Structure 1
């Protein structure tokens, strides 16, 4: 599914959510769940909602709770975020303060039974950690861990294929009609919180899944970069996440070989091509991944990663891309990795970027697929 599912819902009565809201561009993994989530919120319009953070609040649970409150507000739902264990990590305390998150620690004089509904985020069990005579019914339960036990709720969304609950909420935001808006400081803080939550729960993207990269590609246009630098230690840049998303969208698999073009890339982001190749090799079930793009508008830059016993990156890339008039090879490598850089020369002056990319992409694909075909024929003949 693509952007045509961006308008799955009827916009809420309050607020102009269409203003400054970019259209959805990514893939919606679960449109039926999105619709179920919206129906649950609509059923609670005008009610009071208790949003529960269990355990010590961490970046993913904090961001998910804030997102739940943001989405509920569109349906005139009054939400209160309550946590029960102290925010123990100094970075998480700084996060909550920097975001002006309005999180409330449970006190014995709080009447949790006075709420109309409860929502649980980023937790395996839907039970309050304190005794409440008549706990409110569960409106929504959203998490990315394997569920423990059964329970009743108006809406449940558990995705074990997500690296972070924040990624699920980012999908809700992107593919509904009350998503994040450009120019809104409140929405920028929410986007920043979700991005930090994703990074924190995926070990700086090392454990990220496709939904996490789709979320990152969506959120990057809204985040407050200065705030993100303050609250996170980054090993993969936001722009690299977007390049990885392009690689996921554009990948072509032939047998155990994956090829992906990621379009135009800034010089300062060129490392994202290699990181995308690394990611696709780990997550797409192939033996070899080759990712390429046009860097700085004047060179085709590519990266190859392989765990194949039959591909020597150095020899393979030299055979595919050849050499210039001076005999300098465009590509090369060692052991399980390699790369290539092919100057566009006069063609770099082409003003039609779409045409330039189409020519570059077609040329690379033809060369690679021809090489794969020759190798496959040789293997079959043997």
Structure 2
């Protein structure tokens, strides 16, 4: 966040945000779709309602998790791929809950607006940029903008934001601050809690039963860490679902799940302990081989297969490599 925005009141932040668009703009809000990003995009769209000519929300990733698909279905949300929209008509771009370096499809877009809670890239140059990495969810930041604009969220928007905060903070088990709780409390009276229940009960489906079977067979303990190597996977989100699930084991303080997706070795890390930071652990263990980072309780690393093979050995060594890294944690 720039110094001027960091020190500004929320009301002046909102006024600065409005200066980033014009009434003739066709605004595209681009996201790496997950519940927090989807909700934040809906909130930004509401903030700019009748303030620009047209607003489009688009995504750069596939949505495959059954709970995320349930969110779209129950809240009647449609978010097309970026390739499905006519980008030649777009005059202004915004991004929420992500940054250009997070996805290759974002890297060539010139954004005017960026609102996020992930650690910032040191090379970001966006005219309006509000990054608050201490927040547990971007949805919490967007609630503050709505309140500064004196906008009461509809049941649909409130439910989306509420669920965005729930998922990104893992019901406040992950890093969060008082502002997240305040936003959550503010939204509560407006939320359709029956829809929340339906979405949350949609995590497991017939397609990922085989993944769970494989995970149970591959499960190993290295100290207080559950480690599972899933081998080749068709969907990297399956690694996230497995990591979240197996952290629930009584004996586990950490869970690390690895898998090979496309041309990358992907490592998902979850931490329920007090002492270490998952993001810092990911950076220390894997940062020299690829991209790695995250929050105190959740992190991710991606190592190009070519780098792994040249530096470590063939892909049959992933499991041994991981167990050695876990011991050095």
TM class by smaller structure: 0.5 to 0.7
How far residue 43 of structure 1 moved from its aligned partner, in angstroms, is: 4.5
1:147 aligns with 2:123: no
CA distance in 1 between counterparts of 2:41 and 2:20 reads 19
Quickly say closer, same or farther: Cα 1:30–1:206, change in 2 above 3 A: farther
RMSD, aligned CA: 2.5
CA distance in 1 between counterparts of 2:11 and 2:102 reads 24
- Conserved? CA contact 2:27–2:52, under 8 Å: no
How far residue 64 of structure 1 moved from its aligned partner, in angstroms, is: 0.7
1:167 aligns with 2:134: no
What is residue 194 of structure 2 aligned with on the other side? Answer: 226
Give the structure-2-normalised TM-score: 0.54
- Conserved? CA contact 2:158–2:187, under 8 Å: yes
Residue 221 of structure 1: SS of its match in structure 2? helix
- Conserved? CA contact 1:163–1:198, under 8 Å: yes
Which segments of 5 or more consecutive residues in structure 2 lack a partner in the other structure? 1-5, 202-329
CA distance in 1 between counterparts of 2:56 and 2:152 reads 21
- Conserved? CA contact 1:50–1:117, under 8 Å: yes
Residue 144 of structure 2: SS of its match in structure 1? helix
What is residue 214 of structure 2 aligned with on the other side? Answer: none
1:66 to 27, 35, 42: 42
CA distance in 2 between counterparts of 1:169 and 1:76 reads 18
What is residue 38 of structure 1 aligned with on the other side? Answer: 15
1:156-305 mapped onto 2 (5 Å cutoff): 156-177=129-150, 179-180=151-152, 187-207=154-174, 208-232=176-200
Residue 67 of structure 2: SS of its match in structure 1? helix
1:51 to 9, 25, 29: 29
1:59-138 mapped onto 2 (5 Å cutoff): 59-107=35-83, 110-125=85-100, 129-130=104-105, 135=109, 137-138=110-111
Give the structure-1-normalised TM-score: 0.47
- Conserved? CA contact 1:142–1:157, under 8 Å: yes
- Conserved? CA contact 2:95–2:113, under 8 Å: yes
CA distance in 2 between counterparts of 1:180 and 1:200 reads 22
CA distance in 2 between counterparts of 1:77 and 1:171 reads 24
CA distance in 2 between counterparts of 1:99 and 1:106 reads 21
Which segments of 5 or more consecutive residues in structure 1 lack a partner in the other structure? 1-28, 182-186, 234-382
- Conserved? CA contact 2:97–2:117, under 8 Å: yes
How far residue 30 of structure 1 moved from its aligned partner, in angstroms, is: 6.7
Query: Matched residue pairs, number?
Result: 194
CA distance in 2 between counterparts of 1:200 and 1:169 reads 15
Quickly say closer, same or farther: Cα 1:113–1:129, change in 2 above 3 A: farther
How far residue 204 of structure 1 moved from its aligned partner, in angstroms, is: 1.4
CA distance in 1 between counterparts of 2:173 and 2:54 reads 37
Residue 227 of structure 1: SS of its match in structure 2? helix
CA distance in 2 between counterparts of 1:140 and 1:180 reads 23
CA distance in 2 between counterparts of 1:188 and 1:125 reads 31
CA distance in 2 between counterparts of 1:145 and 1:131 reads 16
- Conserved? CA contact 1:66–1:101, under 8 Å: no
1:280-359 mapped onto 2 (5 Å cutoff): none
